[in-house]
A = this chain, B = another copy of it.
Amino acid sequence: MNEALAVAKFSALANTTRLRMLKFLVGVGESGASAGEVAEVVGATPSRASFHLSVMSEVGLIKSTRVSRYITYYVDFAVVGDLISYLMQDCCQNNKTVMDCCSVKNIC
């Protein structure tokens, strides 16, 4: 992950609708959810949802496959993990205080 890719991913996360979509897609896991379901859950019109889903797809946070006439979107967990490690390692140089925030919360 380089700087430009990280900036693009942070941009993708810098929107309430998209962050909600990500959370929902994390919740449904590997099986994913259709664009329509995602739209409904976050309360967005089809075109608005499509726009936000495409923003997240472009940066790689989510992937999609067409299943009959539905398009299934799902999170690429490895990409999210890479973004987190970019923030921890490349940005924060594995700073102890930053890492403690994670261990205190039993994340690692």
Q: What's the dominant secondary structure at chain A's contact region?
A: helix
* Chain B residues whose C-beta falls within 8 Å of the C-beta of A78 in the assembled complex: 97-98, 101
- Are A16 and B7 in contact (CB-based, < 8 A)? yes
Chain B residue, CB-CB nearest to A20:
B3
Query: Chain copies in the assembly?
Result: 2
Interface range on chain A: under 10, 10 to 19, 20 to 34, or 35 or more? 35 or more
- Are B87 and A101 in contact (CB-based, < 8 A)? no
Asked whether A11 is an interface residue with its Cβ less than 8 Å from the other chain, the reply is: yes
A9 to B32, CA, bound (A): 27
- Are B84 and A97 in contact (CB-based, < 8 A)? no
* Chain B residues whose C-beta falls within 8 Å of the C-beta of A40 in the assembled complex: none
Q: Considering residues A80, A84, A94, which has the most beta carbons from chain B within 10 angstroms of its beta carbon?
A: A84
